[in-house]
Amino acid sequence: MNRAFSRKKDKTWMHTPEALSKHFIPYNAKFLGSTEVEQPKGTEVVRDAVRKLKFARHIKKSEGQKIPKVELQISIYGVKILEPKTKEVQHNCQLHRISFCADDKTDKRIFTFICKDSESNKHLCYVFDSEKCVSMPDVLGWSVLFYKPGIVLFLELVYLEMN
Protein backbone atom coordinates (compact mmCIF):
# COMPACT_ATOMS: atom_id res chain seq x y z
CA MET A 1 0.00 0.00 0.00
CA ASN A 2 1.46 3.34 -1.05
CA ARG A 3 -0.49 5.66 1.20
CA ALA A 4 -0.88 5.63 4.98
CA PHE A 5 -4.62 6.00 4.54
CA SER A 6 -6.29 4.91 1.35
CA ARG A 7 -9.54 6.42 0.16
CA LYS A 8 -10.64 3.08 -1.28
CA LYS A 9 -13.14 1.23 0.89
CA ASP A 10 -11.38 -2.13 0.72
CA LYS A 11 -8.08 -0.89 2.15
CA THR A 12 -7.25 0.15 5.70
CA TRP A 13 -4.95 2.63 7.31
CA MET A 14 -1.53 1.07 7.93
CA HIS A 15 -1.21 2.38 11.53
CA THR A 16 -3.67 1.85 14.36
CA PRO A 17 -5.06 4.92 16.13
CA GLU A 18 -3.30 3.73 19.29
CA ALA A 19 0.07 3.94 17.54
CA LEU A 20 -0.28 7.71 17.21
CA SER A 21 -2.25 8.44 20.37
CA LYS A 22 -0.02 6.48 22.75
CA HIS A 23 3.29 6.14 20.93
CA PHE A 24 4.94 7.38 17.75
CA ILE A 25 5.55 6.23 14.19
CA PRO A 26 9.30 5.96 13.46
CA TYR A 27 10.87 6.63 10.05
CA ASN A 28 14.49 6.50 8.96
CA ALA A 29 15.55 9.19 6.52
CA LYS A 30 18.43 11.30 5.33
CA PHE A 31 18.24 14.86 6.65
CA LEU A 32 18.95 17.34 3.88
CA GLY A 33 18.63 20.15 6.39
CA SER A 34 16.38 23.03 7.30
CA THR A 35 16.17 26.50 5.86
CA GLU A 36 14.26 29.63 6.75
CA VAL A 37 11.21 30.35 4.59
CA GLU A 38 9.11 33.51 4.34
CA GLN A 39 5.67 31.89 4.39
CA PRO A 40 4.17 29.27 6.78
CA LYS A 41 2.77 27.16 3.93
CA GLY A 42 2.62 26.60 0.21
CA THR A 43 3.97 24.24 -2.41
CA GLU A 44 6.05 26.97 -4.06
CA VAL A 45 7.64 27.84 -0.70
CA VAL A 46 8.51 24.17 -0.16
CA ARG A 47 9.75 23.77 -3.75
CA ASP A 48 12.20 26.67 -3.31
CA ALA A 49 13.46 25.26 0.01
CA VAL A 50 13.96 21.79 -1.51
CA ARG A 51 15.83 23.27 -4.48
CA LYS A 52 18.09 25.26 -2.13
CA LEU A 53 18.85 22.28 0.13
CA LYS A 54 19.39 19.88 -2.79
CA PHE A 55 21.96 22.32 -4.19
CA ALA A 56 23.68 22.47 -0.78
CA ARG A 57 23.61 18.64 -0.66
CA HIS A 58 25.25 18.48 -4.09
CA ILE A 59 28.06 20.76 -2.91
CA LYS A 60 28.56 18.72 0.29
CA LYS A 61 28.68 15.48 -1.74
CA SER A 62 31.31 16.94 -4.05
CA GLU A 63 33.38 17.80 -0.96
CA GLY A 64 33.10 14.20 0.24
CA GLN A 65 30.60 14.82 3.05
CA LYS A 66 27.77 12.35 3.63
CA ILE A 67 24.17 13.30 4.17
CA PRO A 68 23.32 12.60 7.83
CA LYS A 69 20.82 9.85 8.61
CA VAL A 70 18.15 10.58 11.19
CA GLU A 71 15.19 8.91 12.82
CA LEU A 72 11.90 10.78 12.65
CA GLN A 73 9.37 10.08 15.38
CA ILE A 74 5.92 11.33 14.38
CA SER A 75 3.29 11.47 17.12
CA ILE A 76 0.31 13.53 18.24
CA TYR A 77 2.79 15.74 20.07
CA GLY A 78 4.91 16.58 17.03
CA VAL A 79 7.98 15.44 15.14
CA LYS A 80 11.26 14.58 16.82
CA ILE A 81 14.42 14.35 14.74
CA LEU A 82 16.93 12.05 16.41
CA GLU A 83 20.42 10.75 15.75
CA PRO A 84 19.57 7.10 14.95
CA LYS A 85 22.29 5.38 17.00
CA THR A 86 22.37 7.45 20.18
CA LYS A 87 18.70 8.58 19.99
CA GLU A 88 19.86 12.10 20.86
CA VAL A 89 17.14 14.61 19.95
CA GLN A 90 18.44 17.07 17.35
CA HIS A 91 15.15 18.92 16.77
CA ASN A 92 11.79 18.73 18.50
CA CYS A 93 8.99 20.31 16.47
CA GLN A 94 5.76 20.59 18.43
CA LEU A 95 2.67 19.74 16.43
CA HIS A 96 0.91 23.06 17.00
CA ARG A 97 3.92 24.83 15.44
CA ILE A 98 3.85 22.75 12.23
CA SER A 99 1.93 24.66 9.57
CA PHE A 100 2.48 22.62 6.40
CA CYS A 101 3.76 19.25 5.24
CA ALA A 102 4.11 17.72 1.79
CA ASP A 103 6.02 15.36 -0.38
CA ASP A 104 7.84 16.61 -3.48
CA LYS A 105 5.72 16.10 -6.60
CA THR A 106 8.80 15.63 -8.81
CA ASP A 107 10.84 13.47 -6.43
CA LYS A 108 8.68 11.15 -4.31
CA ARG A 109 11.60 10.40 -1.98
CA ILE A 110 11.50 13.96 -0.61
CA PHE A 111 9.31 14.86 2.39
CA THR A 112 9.06 18.34 3.93
CA PHE A 113 7.32 20.19 6.69
CA ILE A 114 7.32 23.81 7.83
CA CYS A 115 7.57 24.58 11.53
CA LYS A 116 7.69 27.89 13.40
CA ASP A 117 10.81 27.97 15.56
CA SER A 118 9.95 28.53 19.23
CA GLU A 119 12.99 30.72 19.92
CA SER A 120 13.35 32.87 16.81
CA ASN A 121 9.67 32.78 15.69
CA LYS A 122 10.91 32.19 12.13
CA HIS A 123 9.42 29.59 9.81
CA LEU A 124 11.82 26.75 9.00
CA CYS A 125 11.33 24.17 6.26
CA TYR A 126 12.75 20.74 7.17
CA VAL A 127 13.63 18.49 4.22
CA PHE A 128 14.17 14.72 4.27
CA ASP A 129 15.02 12.03 1.72
CA SER A 130 13.48 8.61 2.32
CA GLU A 131 12.09 5.72 0.32
CA LYS A 132 9.18 5.54 2.78
CA CYS A 133 8.27 9.21 2.57
CA VAL A 134 5.04 8.52 0.68
CA SER A 135 3.27 7.82 3.96
CA MET A 136 4.92 10.51 6.12
CA PRO A 137 2.64 13.42 5.09
CA ASP A 138 -0.39 11.23 5.78
CA VAL A 139 0.87 10.18 9.21
CA LEU A 140 1.66 13.79 10.10
CA GLY A 141 -1.78 14.83 8.84
CA TRP A 142 -3.46 12.16 10.96
CA SER A 143 -1.40 13.33 13.95
CA VAL A 144 -2.99 16.76 13.58
CA LEU A 145 -6.43 15.15 13.70
CA PHE A 146 -5.53 13.04 16.74
CA TYR A 147 -4.19 16.12 18.49
CA LYS A 148 -7.65 17.67 18.57
CA PRO A 149 -9.62 16.63 21.69
CA GLY A 150 -12.32 14.04 21.16
CA ILE A 151 -11.10 12.94 17.74
CA VAL A 152 -9.11 9.94 18.98
CA LEU A 153 -12.16 7.99 20.13
CA PHE A 154 -13.99 8.76 16.89
CA LEU A 155 -11.09 7.57 14.73
CA GLU A 156 -10.66 4.44 16.86
CA LEU A 157 -14.31 3.60 16.16
CA VAL A 158 -13.84 4.26 12.44
CA TYR A 159 -10.75 2.02 12.45
CA LEU A 160 -12.65 -0.79 14.18
CA GLU A 161 -15.49 -0.52 11.65
CA MET A 162 -13.03 -0.79 8.75
CA ASN A 163 -11.59 -4.08 10.05
d(CA 103, CA 21): 23
Q: What is the mean pLDDT of residues 147-153?
A: 44
Residue 121: which pLDDT band, with cuts at 50, 70 and 90?
very high
CB distance 91 to 126 below 8 Å? yes
- CA 66 to each of CA 16, 29, 49, 71, 134: distance values in angstroms, whole numbers, following the listed order: 35, 13, 20, 16, 23
Strand order from edge to edge, sheet including 123-129: 89-94, 78-82, 69-75, 25-37, 123-129, 110-116, 98-103
How confident is the model at residue 136, as a pLDDT? 52
First to last CA, the chain: 16
Class at the top of the CATH hierarchy for domain 18-162: mainly beta
**Per-residue CA distances from 119 to 3, 26, 34 (Å):** 34, 26, 15
Least confident of 6-10, 21-25, 105-109: 6-10
- Sign of the CA dihedral with 138 first, then 85, 83, and 93 last: positive
Q: What is the pLDDT of residues 42-96, one digit of tens each?
A: 889 999 999 999 999 999 888 999 999 999 888 878 889 999 999 999 999 988 8
Nearest in space to 75 (alpha carbons), one of 55, 57, 94: 94
- What integer pLDDT is reported at residue 116 of this predicted model? 94
Mean pLDDT, the chain, integer: 76
pTM for the structure as a whole: 0.74
Domain boundaries, the chain: 18-162
